Amino acid sequence: MRMINIHEAKTQLSRLVDEAAKGESFIIAKAGKPLVQVTALSAPASGEARRLGFMAGRFRTPDDFDRMGDEEIERLFGADE
């Protein structure tokens, strides 16, 4: 990851933010010491678990899911009339 001196970051902030928004994260350093990492909000942090499927395996769909409530629906809407 690219390290940018704080002075350079101040003078080129707009360009650096645009690059970070496109996924090009960088580190701002002061006197050669890393201070902060700038990353786009939509970009997942390295090592971060994906959100999609986070509940996988915790629920089971009943085999009759597509027929659940058939009797009540027929009763309410008069399918036998």
Q: Tokens in use for 40?
A: 């786009």
Positive or negative torsion for Cα 7, 9, 12, 13: negative
Domains of the chain: 1-42 (3.40.1620.10)
Distance CA 3, CA 5 (A): 7
- pLDDT score for 79: 58
Query: Which DSSP symbol is given to 59?
Result: -
How would you write the pLDDT of the chain (81 residues) with one tens digit per residue? 899 999 999 999 999 999 999 989 999 999 999 999 999 886 556 666 567 787 888 888 888 888 888 888 888 887 555
Q: Does the pTM of the predicted model rise above 0.75?
A: no
Instruction: Give burial (CB, 10 Å; 0-12/13-18/19+) of 62.
Output: exposed
Q: Please report the pLDDT score of residue 55 as a whole number.
A: 82
